[in-house]
Amino acid sequence: MAELFAYDCRIQYCSLNLDGTTSAFGAAERNAVNDDIIEKYASQAYRTLCLVYRDVDVTPEVVKDWSDEEIETDLTCICIVGIEDPVREEVPESIRQCNEAGIVVR
């Protein structure tokens, strides 16, 4: 058995959750997590990380040949965290230069 871990927020690929037992994690639950947790962190300028995994019954050698679509299904969400990600010193100047060049930065 191998376990696959995604390092960024992959909640859209989760179909299971973890609360001591495994239970269904459908579109309504994913939308609630996005609205109640992920968007809340994002509005506070936190980078959101979602720790997910999937048990597979194959060797790591087989998994390395899988496509992203094959891997990113039926993931189990362990937790979602928000980490502070301050603006780098050079970003305001870069935004100013983009604005002067007519580029809209959001």
What CATH number does residue 94 fall under? 3.40.1110.10
Q: What is the pLDDT of residue 80?
A: 83
- Taking only the tens place, the pLDDT of each residue in 58-78 is 887 787 788 877 777 777 777
Residues spanned by the domain of 46: 2-100
User: Is 38 a member of any domain?
Assistant: yes
Is 60 exceeded by the pLDDT of residue 9?
Answer: no
Is 60 exceeded by the pLDDT of residue 81?
Answer: yes
* Sign of the Cα pseudo-torsion (12, 13, 15, 16, in order): negative
User: Is 105 a member of any domain?
Assistant: no
User: Is 28 a member of any domain?
Assistant: yes
Q: What is the pLDDT of residue 33?
A: 82
Q: What is the pLDDT of residue 89?
A: 92
User: Is 25 a member of any domain?
Assistant: yes
User: Is 63 a member of any domain?
Assistant: yes
For residues 99 and 42, what is the distance between their CA atoms, to the nearest angstrom? 23
Is 60 exceeded by the pLDDT of residue 17?
Answer: no
- Taking only the tens place, the pLDDT of each residue in 37-59 is 888 888 888 888 888 787 777 88
At 52 the three-state DSSP class reads strand
CB-neighbour burial class of residue 44 (10 A; exposed 0-12, middle 13-18, buried 19+)? exposed
This prediction has a pTM of: 0.56
Closest CA to 18 of 51, 49, 43, 57: 51
At 41 the three-state DSSP class reads helix
Q: What is the pLDDT of residue 23?
A: 66
For residues 22 and 16, what is the distance between their CA atoms, to the nearest angstrom? 6
Is 80 exceeded by the pLDDT of residue 26?
Answer: no
User: Is 106 a member of any domain?
Assistant: no
User: Is 91 a member of any domain?
Assistant: yes
Q: How many other C-beta atoms are found inside a 10 Å radius of the C-beta of residue 29?
A: 16
Count how many domains the chain has: 1
User: Is 70 a member of any domain?
Assistant: yes
